Structure 1
Amino acid sequence: METLFVAAGLFIATNIDILIVVTAFCLDEDYATVEVVVGYCTGFLVGLCGAVFGAFVVTGVLQRWAFLLGAVPVVLGLWGLFRLEPDPVGDELQVIPGPTGRIWVVTVTAIGLNGENLAVYIPFFVGLTSAELLAVILAYIIAAVILFLVALLITRLTHDLPHPAWIDRWLVPAVLVFVGSYVIISGWIAV
């Protein structure tokens, strides 16, 4: 039971950015809900399978040093916090892809966002038994569905409100730094 509590905490901490992005896609009138759900689910499953595969590789080769993967979200978070904003260039012509292209955009975005989660999930998955890993995978799939439903609810409730820039600029990178630091510190203590 303790494993599922830790898994839930890691899922929440690592998926705040995904919730924000999925909500943004749902708010975008150019994207149909079905396009967002197909792209999000595909990207989520690719990321989860990558984490499970990574855990098997690390278990066989580098289990003792897996916690160092926590440096990935720390670096991404610090980059997000300290990067310079690009100069606005005015209105640029945007090409809106067709339905398949929009699904691909959501999928690639979800894979990219789940890619940073690998650094958190792999060290966590390494220490699990097969039964615990299966339970966590099932819990994560259920949590992913809940995350999408929450994004839809937020969309329905806030479709007329502007998207606050501080979320992408400060909150998401700070969460990445926190989660990566947790992985490094907890792994360092365990070694």
Structure 2
Amino acid sequence: MSAEVFVEAPLPDALVAVAAATKGFLPDDEADALRAVVAAHLRPGGVAVEIGTYCGKSAIHLGHVAREAGATLLTLDHHRGSEEQQPGWEYHDTELVDPEIGAMDTLPFARRALHRAGLEEVVVPIVGRSTTISAFWTTPLDAVFIDGGHTEEAAQADYAGWSPHVRGDGVLVIHDVFPDPADGGQAPFHVYERALADGFAEILHVGSLRALRR
């Protein structure tokens, strides 16, 4: 982990407690690495985008970094759950189902988490499909964190829609990159391979988290 791309970005104890109480799939070592590498690339007035809010765990980590940098985090999600979170699948959580419509709805959980963390002024939730929003996006980005749907179609669309907006010295972070199929799904790994082929270079690897820069 190079000092050039990895800086100290500790999470205050109060936010550690909120993040720990928030549903999500980001291990502590990966959360530490995510904060550190994004903190090294966020500029005052800059913008970071997270694809895949879920219940807001990683948005707390990134939101703290954005606040410290004087930047803004936009966190995108349709909040209806990815494929593995639907009824009958491994990561389905009945607590996240809206009983009135019978569909997943993680937005209220994310909003509560951001409120408890005191980050509502710096973290902007955007409710919608990643491809819908990226189609009209024009702002250069300091950081993009891809952690959305894990089907090949969804992961590749997230990369295609958002990686072109990473500024020349910005950072692209991809979660759940597993080279060995026995460890997890392959779509994020294929996105990682595509990024390397497109000229991104890996600058950080912690667990399943990979950070790349042009």
User: What TM-score, normalized by structure 1, do the two folds share?
Assistant: 0.24
Larger relative contact order (Cα-Cα within 8 Å, sequence gap ≥ 6): 1
**Higher strand fraction (1 or 2):** 2
Structure label with greater radius of gyration: 1
| TM-score (norm: length of structure 2) | 0.22
Q: As a proportion of its length, which structure holds more helix?
A: 1
